[in-house]
Structure 1
Amino acid sequence: MKLLSKIIIVGILVLITLNSFAQNSVKHNIDIRIPEVALLGLVADNSDVTRILTKSNNVAENSISFADETDVNSVWINYSSVKRAHSSPRRITAFVQGDIPEGIQLKVSASAASSDGKGELGQPKGSKVLGEQPTEIINNIGSCYTGQGAQHGHNLVYSLAIDETEAKLVALNSEKVTFNIVYTLAD
């Protein structure tokens, strides 16, 4: 009987030891959903960022003066974009809000995106004449970010072309003319 009780005790100890080394695993699914994002901002080398952010249409405004040549070439457009898979690329359009004097054409050109941005950065469309209707200046924007602030994103260069016919020149005067350029990031 002593031998039988020793065998039973050893058997129980072996079973307990084997159970203590058993592996139990449990799993569950985790869904990660990143919401769509469309953020747009303008910044000049010598001023603060002005931003207006909404989900559907993102609009940015900033003021520049053609009296100072450095002001005209120091504006940067920054954006962040997260879009759904299989959705159309986004684009940035610009238009003039206000009256440009007759005989003047305002043009804007966006540079290639700075090298510190990541993702599917947009492609500039070259020099575009701005008017009352939105004009596409950057297209093919996917999920990406350009970075924030001056020297990030696309440098915007403005130029004025003047119609030099006598009638148009007479209409121009030395008064200060103010208008807005509105940029929109849209699907």
Structure 2
Amino acid sequence: MKYRISILIFFILSSFANYGLASDKEAEHKASVIIPDVALLSLKVEGNSNVEFQSAAPTTAGEKIDLQSKQESNIWLNYSSIVTSNQKRKITATVVGDIPNGISIKLKVGENIGAGIGELGLSNGSIVLSNSPVDIISGIGSCYTGVGVQNGHPLSYNLEIDENSFYSNSEKGETSVSVIYTLTDDN
């Protein structure tokens, strides 16, 4: 019986000793959250992505060519951005190719529409495109526009025609240019 009581007392004291040791010990490990730098840009299209301005030949001598000057493109500009503190991004547009003499291509960038969240960029409105980058959206912080059509910034195109230059330098034919959009740091 004494043997059992001694064993019982030993186990009770051992439990208190382990309890005391366990309460004095700490264990730790690090947990890291890594947020990457993100700068993604895409164009989403409803239907055909080509923007075509066509002219109609006059039917009566002395009339001018009727050149369609407005094109709703159904192209949507989507982007995702994660930046550091106080950093901003912008989107530029550049024309690659030769625009015919007397014609200016204007790009109208609408305000953001849809499911976007964060510090979305602000449209610079209607911009005349050229072979040099032109800012079309500015002030982009950490954000996303949402994916696909009806999200992001809607794009539409207009032509402006300087008739004197156009008729002095025009030739029959077709001219194609590409518009390149770039998401870049603004500061």
Same fold flag (TM > 0.5): yes
**Within 2, Cα distance between the matches of 1:65 and 1:168?**
18
Cα distance, 1:95–1:15 mapped onto 2, change above 3 Å: same
CA contact 2:69–2:158 (8 Å) conserved in 1: no
Within 1, Cα distance between the matches of 2:96 and 2:120? 27
Contact 1:39 1:79 in 2 (8 A): yes
Equivalent position of 2:117 in the other structure: 118
**Corresponding residue of 2:72:** 72
CA distance in 1, matches of 2:41, 2:71: 20
Task: Look up the equivalent residue of 1:66 and give its one-letter code.
Answer: F
Q: Is the 8 A contact 2:70 2:159 kept in 1?
A: no
Q: Partner of 2:33 in structure 1? A: 32
Could you tell me the TM-score, scaled by structure 2's length?
Answer: 0.77
- Count residues with an aligned counterpart: 169
Counterpart AA for 2:9: G
Amino acid at match of 1:79: Y
Tell me the residue number matched to 2:177: 179
Question: Where does 1:42-121 land on structure 2 (aligned, <5 Å)?
Answer: 42-47=43-48, 63-67=50-54, 72-86=72-86, 88-121=87-120
Give the CA deviation at 1:25.
5.2
Task: Give per-residue Cα distances to partners, 1:17-67, cap 9 Å, x unaligned.
Answer: 4447956652211222222121111122114xxxxxxxxxxxxxx642224
In the alignment, is residue 159 of structure 1 matched against residue 146 of structure 2?
no
Q: Distance in 2 between matches of 1:17 and 1:70?
A: 85
> Tell me, what secondary structure is at the counterpart of 2:132?
coil
Percent of aligned pairs with the same amino acid: 38
- State the alpha-carbon separation in 2 of the partners of residues 30 and 43 from structure 1: 38
* Alpha-carbon shift at residue 150 of structure 1 (Å): 1.5
Computing the radius of gyration over CA atoms, which structure comes out larger, 1 or 2? 2
Question: CA 1:7–1:182 in structure 2 vs 1: closer, same or farther (change >3 Å)?
Answer: same
Stretches of structure 1 that go unaligned for 5 or more consecutive residues are: 48-61
From 156, 169, 173, the counterpart of 2:167: 169
Distance 1:66 1:44, change over 3 A: farther
- Is the contact made by 2:89 and 2:139 (CA closer than 8 Å) also made in structure 1? yes
Which stretches in structure 2 are left out of the alignment for 5+ residues? Answer: 55-67
C-alpha RMSD of matched pairs (Å): 2.7
Q: Could you tell me whether the CA contact under 8 Å between 1:65 and 1:72 is conserved in 2?
A: no
Task: Give the match's secondary structure for 2:101.
Answer: coil
1:63 touches 1:180 (CA, 8 Å); kept in 2?
Answer: no
